Amino acid sequence: MKITVFSGSHKGREGNTLIMVEEFLKGAEEAGAETENIFLIEKNIRYCRGKFECWLKTPGMCTIRDDMADLLPKFMASDIVVFACPVYFDNVPAIMKTFIDRLAPVLLPHFEKDEMGEYRHSKRYEKFPKIAVISNSGLPGQTNFEVESLFFKRLARTFHTELIAEIYRGEGEIFRGKSNIMLKPLLGKYRKVLRCAGRELVENQKLSEKITRELENPIIPASIYIKFGNEEWDRLCEEKKFD
């Protein structure tokens, strides 16, 4: 089984998202998956020009010459694609949306009705990868992912596939405290759950209710996260004044 992660943190290898992805992939590899983590920010991905040339001029291929020529076949050759990114203003960051817009060549221009009675574009290929999401937000709480959750559900529908896992972590800035003596054991526990999630997804193609519940538990109470978070921002603002 091939799992490809398209990582959409604008901070790339420095991102909080990466900590989640790495642990999830360890579990997936333990269960026998072949994995690849692609950092979108390191790629040259230009905006979709919106001219439908991938449907009309060069069917199935974009006319823009950039790294999407390699990424599109990687997307289609995967059994599971993981979209991994932070929340930016309640939605996916720009790099992730730019990447997703450029996936249009895998569809056909023609319209069809789906099993729910809604309309969408027909598929160009028989088999599409299943989709999973890993995301983190700076604020605490699962409501920060409402827009992303709806977006990825509809994206799976658009790509004639299933959304098989949604892993959302509020309090995402907590990962910056990974060497803090108090946080280390709590983060260690969460990492273990992520690893189990990676294993489960490969073995069962879905996450159990138990793992889903554990993934959604706050790592620390929101009131404490907010208190320490604000103190940290005060400290950082003060530090910057003397730069």
Ligand X SMILES: Cc1cc2nc3c(=O)[nH]c(=O)nc-3n(C[C@H](O)[C@H](O)[C@H](O)COP(=O)(O)O)c2cc1C
158 binds ligand X (CB under 6 A): no
The one among 173, 191, 196, 200 contacting ligand X by CB under 6 A: 173
229 binds ligand X (CB under 6 A): no
The one among 16, 35, 78, 158 contacting ligand X by CB under 6 A: 16
Closest to ligand X by CB, 89 or 119? 89
The one among 17, 35, 78, 158 contacting ligand X by CB under 6 A: 17
Copy the structure tokens of residue 74: 């990687």
Q: Among 12-20, 65-73, 116-124, 235-243, which window interacts with ligand X (CB under 6 A)?
A: 12-20
- Cβ contact 207:165 at 8 Å: yes
Secondary structure of the chain in HEC code, one letter for each residue? CEEEEEECCCCHHHCHHHHHHHHHHHHHHHCCCEEEEEEHHHCCCCCCCCCCHHHHCCCCCCCCCCCHHHHHHHHHCCCEEEEEEECECCECCHHHHHHHHCCHHHEEEEEEECCCCCEEEEECCCCCCEEEEEEECCCCCHHHHHHHHHHHHHHHHHCCCCEEEEEEECCHHHHHHCCCCCHHHHHHHHHHHHHHHHHHHHHHCCCCHHHHHHHHCCCCCHHHHHHHHHHHHHHHHHHHHCC
Sign of CA dihedral 172, 177, 183, 186: positive
Q: Among 31-39, 48-56, 132-140, 190-198, which window interacts with ligand X (CB under 6 A)?
A: 132-140
- Closest approach of Cβ 203 to ligand X, in Å? 27
Q: Among 15-23, 46-54, 71-79, 218-226, which window interacts with ligand X (CB under 6 A)?
A: 15-23
Closest to ligand X by CB, 78 or 144? 144
The one among 26, 55, 64, 88 contacting ligand X by CB under 6 A: 88
137 binds ligand X (CB under 6 A): yes
Closest to ligand X by CB, 60 or 138? 138
The one among 87, 183, 187, 211 contacting ligand X by CB under 6 A: 87
171 binds ligand X (CB under 6 A): no
Q: Which residues bind ligand X (CB under 6 A)?
A: 9-11, 15-17, 86-90, 136-139, 144, 172-173
